[in-house]
Amino acid sequence: MKKQKRGILTTFMVFLLCLGLVMGISGHAFAVETTSETDTDASEGIENLEDMEEVEEVEAEAAGSIEEAEREAAQLEAEREATQANRNALDAELNEIIESMVETHEELIAKGEEVEAAEFELMNALVDENNQYQNMLRRIQFMFENGGFQMLELLLSSETIADFVNQAEYINTIMVADRELLVQFQNTVEQVATLEATLREEEALLVELQNNLIEQQERVEVLLDAADIQLGDVYARIGANAALLEDLIAQAEAERIRQEEAAEAERIRQEEEALAAQAPVIQDSESNDTEYDTGDGDGYDGGDVANPPPPADGGNWATSGTLSHPLPGAPITSPFGWRAFDNAHHNGVDFGAPEGTPIFAAEAGTVIISGFSHSAGNWVVINHGGGLVTMYMHNSVNQVSVGQQVARGQQIALVGNTGNSFGAHLHFQVEINGVPVNPMQFL
């Protein structure tokens, strides 16, 4: 009996040892699996942290570039104001010079009239002088030819002493009068000559002043031309900086959209992975043979851009003919999908057309981007609601502005060859919930 009890006890202890060994092995396997999952989650967390740090670094760099461009714009505006103020001061100086020249010109006219009057007076004096000179020559000739006997006869013909004295006084008066008249004309001629010389000097001074004013005017005009050149250079740099700032803002906006799209795609992928991980548990709990669609069929799996998820508001965009053609009649020069020549996925359809051909909105919506990008060139992005967005790239001219409401079929741009482009064409891109899809299934 004791041996039987001892055998039963031994058998029971062996059973307990075996059970403990089996449970230990299962626990170790569970611990290893749990550790592996934890390590995987930690690795994914580290990768996500690195991605976030990289995104933050890119955003900080873009923000710094925009701030630098804005500071440059402020400095250029201050330079423009200073140059414009200098230009205005030169304009005012030029106006003063012109007014002074007008006054000088009026003075020249007045002085010219005075000189003309003096010249006329001089001419008359010269005539009188010449007449007097000729009379004096004739008188001297007469006296020389007659030897002065007439004067003597006149004196000898006097009958009385009183008459003689009178005759002598008469002759003296004539001679004095002749001398005084000659002196008078000589003085007149000298005075007129002096006046003429003075007026000529004044006129010369006025002409010199006018020449100086003309030189000042020419100098100011040269300065104005230089100021205009400087002002034009400032405006050119302002335009270039404005284009750079617009490009930086467009790039930042594009980067923001790309990050949002990447985040949305990552969210969808994580949701699908979570659903895929939960599918076996659900199947085991419900004990049925229902298979869960993980995206291998017609459903959207986050990687097939040709089969997008339905719009967020329940709209149905995935039907042929939903959108109007943005470039009617234009041939396809590069289709949607993988391209061998650049070894990349083409997220839109290229339609070839001459530069300047009108581009039309595929559907009514709100313009959210109308600017310039180095890659897309001049581009327009329209949000149509329900997750649907259309893009129009490489335009020569954008004809709509951000925030503008456009109608279906409204002209929004012209075909161009801007950005990363090799020939005039329209890159037409359609996205649903941030995922590029083949535009041809909507046209």
User: Mind listing the pLDDT tens digit for each residue in 262-305?
Assistant: 888 888 888 787 777 766 655 554 444 433 333 333 333 333 33
- Is the pLDDT at 180 greater than 70? The verdict is yes
Tokens of 99: 């007014």
Of the pLDDT bands very low, low, confident and very high (cuts 50, 70, 90), residue 29 is very low
Predicted local confidence at residue 294, as pLDDT? 33
What mean pLDDT do residues 62-70 have?
A: 81
Of the pLDDT bands very low, low, confident and very high (cuts 50, 70, 90), residue 332 is very high
- Is the pLDDT at 344 greater than 50? The verdict is yes
Tokens of 345: 């996925």
Q: Are 124 and 191 in contact (CB under 8 A)?
A: no
70-85 pLDDT, tens digit each: 888 888 889 888 888 8
Residue predicted with more confidence, 336 or 164: 336
Predicted local confidence at residue 81, as pLDDT? 87
376-433 pLDDT, tens digit each: 999 999 999 999 999 999 999 999 999 999 999 999 999 999 998 989 999 999 999 9
Predicted local confidence at residue 431, as pLDDT? 95
Degrees, nearest 5: CA angle 70-74-78: 165
What mean pLDDT do residues 143-148 have?
A: 60
Mean pLDDT of the chain: 75
Q: What are phi and psi of 440, to 5 degrees?
A: -65, -20
Q: Whole-angstrom Cα distance, residue 411 to residue 327?
A: 10
What mean pLDDT do residues 199-228 have?
A: 80
- Any residues with CB less than 8 A from the CB of 402 and at least 6 apart, and which? 367, 368, 369, 370, 371
Q: Whole-angstrom Cα distance, residue 194 to residue 327?
A: 91
Q: Whole-angstrom Cα distance, residue 440 to residue 443?
A: 5
18-28 pLDDT, tens digit each: 555 445 544 44
Return the DSSP state at 309: P
Does pTM surpass 0.75? Answer: no
- Is the pLDDT at 47 greater than 90? The verdict is no
Q: Are strands 435-437 and 425-432 parallel, antiparallel or unpaired?
A: antiparallel
| Burial track 394-422 (b if 16+ CB lie within 10 A, e otherwise) | bbbebbbeeebebeeeeebbbbbebbebe
Predicted local confidence at residue 139, as pLDDT? 63
What mean pLDDT do residues 334-355 have?
A: 92
Predicted local confidence at residue 25, as pLDDT? 45
Q: Whole-angstrom Cα distance, residue 442 to residue 360?
A: 15
Structural domains of the chain, with CATH: 37-286 (1.10.287), 313-441 (2.70.70.10)
Q: Are 422 and 253 in contact (CB under 8 A)?
A: no
